Amino acid sequence: MISLCDISLSISIYLIILAPERALRPSHSRDLMSMLVSIYGHAELFVEEYVHMLADRMLSGQSNKVDIEHEGRYVDLLKQRFGDGGLQGCDVMLKDYVDSRLMNDLVKKQLAQVHFPLVSTAGVPINTLIISSQYWPEVKFSPIDLPDELKAIQIAYTTAYEALKPHRTLHWSPNYGKK
């Protein structure tokens, strides 16, 4: 017995094989978007879930799973479809991600000048993602007690950051990232 899903999949494959230029027509993307929104029940829920998924990918520490250029395009497409309302924070989240990479490089250079590498004795490089908390979805952080070596690296990073960004400080959440 063929299910509705099998028929839909067959039609999509048929369109891609026989007419690739038609497979990604705007009407198809609108239909796909409508289908995704219907799964969540409402556009606001769909947008909220996208924002949370984007934040989870960024906070996971797996930078290979986040392509800023593509995510920026996705956000722009979603804004065209649903308006800016629930997606305003995504631009800030993407900017935070890019700015964090730049800040990591600046702090590493500054600390290298005083011979303090941002690498643990086990050879694990330390990188940070500095987020603007008011624009990111609420993230629950549980307290974690770090080894003294990592606490020293945090203090050195915070000191270097505060020298580069006066009147700002960091609140560490070490339980996020890759392990």
Structural domain boundaries in the chain: 26-164
- What count of other Cβ atoms lies within 10 Å of the Cβ of residue 121? 7
Q: How far apart (Å, rounded) are the C-alpha atoms in residues 93 and 96?
A: 5
Q: What is the CA radius of gyration of the chain?
A: 21
Q: What is the mean pLDDT of residues 6-21?
A: 42
How many residues in the chain? 179
Q: How far apart (Å, rounded) are the C-alpha atoms in residues 142 and 73?
A: 33
The residue behind tokens 């070596």 is 149
73-128 residue pLDDT tens: 988 988 888 888 888 889 999 999 999 989 988 888 888 888 777 666 566 677 78
pLDDT value at residue 65: 67
